[in-house]
Amino acid sequence: MKQVLIYKRFERFWHWSQAALIMFLALTGFEVHGSINVFGFEKAVHYHRFASYGLLLLIAFAIFWHLTTGEWRQYIPTFKNLKVQFQYYISGIFKNEKHPSHKTELSKLNPLQRIVYFGFKIVLIPLVVITGILYLNYKTIDANNIIVISELSLDLIAILHTMGAFLLISFLVVHIYMTTTGSTPTSNIKAMLTGYEEIEEKIENKAEDKNEK
């Protein structure tokens, strides 16, 4: 085994900041919704709006980072070994079978993770962000006739935004569980904190190969 830098500094900052903002937005959002009572309605609205601006700023930096570093390629979906990976998660992992995918700096995600994270970035996050912006500026947009959204009622926007919030929470729960499926229950979390992960080192001995031939 050797220590390999898998997650770069900004990547780790972006990961933990995004997780914290999403959890805080969920907390304040459900209070605005009337489901819980922690800060009080007015403060919850103020905190939710402030945190949403923080998330938008973080997303902008993350998009720039992914495009300039080429890390966006990590999320290109592939169906190669997808069935094997799926079978591992539903049965093989409980039989202590060897993981079918090998993580490297150039390929951090297995086939199933690629598809899930691609959907997270292309569908789920845009759903929450767009509906959140529409909900936040609904009266302003309608009053100034900047954008015609009369076909979208405020109730529909709120329902879609809430649905997106529940999907985000579901993703977070599954994501936290999946972090415990590494070589040890805390190895994946440690890797996202330090950036380094233990990778199996393959050593090819050409002399021995020639002797075998």
Q: What is the pLDDT of residues 115-134, one digit of tens each?
A: 999 999 999 999 999 999 88
Task: Judge contact between 7 and 192, C-beta under 8 A.
Answer: yes
pLDDT given for residue 98 in this prediction? 83
Please report, rounded to a whole number, the percentage of residues in the chain having pLDDT higher than 90.
45
pLDDT given for residue 208 in this prediction? 39
Tell me the residue type at 199. Answer: I
Q: With a cut of 70, which residues of the chain have pLDDT below it?
A: 1, 139-151, 200-213
Task: Record the pTM.
Answer: 0.80
Nearest to 76 by CA among 47, 37, 119, 40: 119
pLDDT given for residue 181 in this prediction? 82
Residue 114: CA atoms inside 13 Å, Cβ hemisphere, count? 20
pLDDT given for residue 126 in this prediction? 93
Tell me the residue type at 105. Answer: E
- Domains of the chain, start order: 2-202 (1.20.950.20)
Record the tokens describing residue 17, joined without a space.
Answer: 């900041």
Q: How far apart are CA 144 and CA 157, in angstroms?
A: 19
Q: What is the pLDDT of residues 3-33, one digit of tens each?
A: 888 899 999 999 999 999 999 999 999 998 8
